[in-house]
Chain A
Amino acid sequence: NAGVTQTPKFQVLKTGQSMTLQCAQDMNHNSMYWYRQDPGMGLRLIYYSASEGTTDKGEVPNGYNVSRLNKREFSLRLESAAPSQTSVYFCASIFTSGGYYEQYFGPGTRLTVT
């Protein structure tokens, strides 16, 4: 049981390049989220998927697109990277049961855009 996995762990892009961050979970959770964390800041929600086949914008969606490929996988795409997108990106999947609600986070992808 690997939990939430993210690839790659590190990435350096030049301005204008594109890339896709991959996220997968093996816990059969319905909801998955993408966050970014800038230095010294808390996490900000980029996009989320409440269930397979649905995606919605979070707090900071501009410059990103997402795909919920299946129940396991939720990818984040940067079409034209900008230095302002330099950040650590975390994927999370959510377990809910009655009143219980817990996010499981991946290890993060550290992205630098030069």
Chain B
Amino acid sequence: DAKTTQPNSMESNEEEPVHLPCNHSTISGTDYIHWYRQLPSQGPEYVIHGLTSNVNNRMASLAIAEDRKSSTLILHRATLRDAAVYYCILRAELPRRFSGNQFYFGTGTSLTVIP
């Protein structure tokens, strides 16, 4: 049972904004929404995360729906270096006895940036 669903691929023109959607209809109240991206032949790297409110950082913005069943990663001006697979991930706190967190990765969206 997939925790998150994302489009397989998207394209964007360079210098234009990109909106990457993610559905997580089974999210629970304590699950955080994280976004990571993975460039070819590299490990994933952190982009942004949030719980309920919209979030901004130097890389991107995260817009979270009021019911939290979906979210959108916004890249304000796509560059060629933003071409990557973007993963929308839910982070669930495990029961206390495990003292950790569980991350649920989907299959991601492959973003192509057109010069």
Q: Which residues of A contact B (CB under 8 A)?
A: 4, 31, 33, 35, 40-45, 48, 50-51, 54, 56, 58, 90, 92, 94, 99, 101-108
Report yes or no: B107 in contact with A42, Cβ–Cβ below 8 A.
yes
Interface of A is mostly: strand
Interface centre among A42, A44, A103 (most CB of B within 10 A): A42
Contacting residue for B44 out of A41, A90, A101, CB 8 A: A90
Report yes or no: B98 in contact with A50, Cβ–Cβ below 8 A.
yes
13 A-B residue pairs with Cβ-Cβ distance under 8 Å, sorted by A, are A31-B101, A42-B87, A42-B105, A42-B106, A43-B44, A43-B105, A56-B98, A56-B100, A94-B101, A101-B91, A102-B49, A103-B44, A105-B44
Report yes or no: A106 in contact with B108, Cβ–Cβ below 8 A.
no
Q: Which residues of B contact A (CB under 8 A)?
A: 32, 34, 36, 41-46, 49, 51, 87, 91, 98-103, 105-108
CB contacts (< 8 Å) of B45 on chain A: these are 105
Report yes or no: A31 in contact with B107, Cβ–Cβ below 8 A.
no
Interface centre among B44, B45, B98 (most CB of A within 10 A): B44
CB contacts (< 8 Å) of A90 on chain B: these are 43-44
Interface centre among A4, A92, A102 (most CB of B within 10 A): A102
CB contacts (< 8 Å) of B34 on chain A: these are 101
Q: How far is the CB of B89 from chain A (nearest CB, A)?
A: 8
Q: How far is the CB of B41 from chain A (nearest CB, A)?
A: 8
A105 CA / B39 CA spacing, docked (Å): 12
Residue of A nearest to B51 (CB): A99
Residue of A nearest to B87 (CB): A42
CB contacts (< 8 Å) of B103 on chain A: these are 33, 43, 45, 103
Q: How far is the CB of B39 from chain A (nearest CB, A)?
A: 11
CB contacts (< 8 Å) of B51 on chain A: these are 99
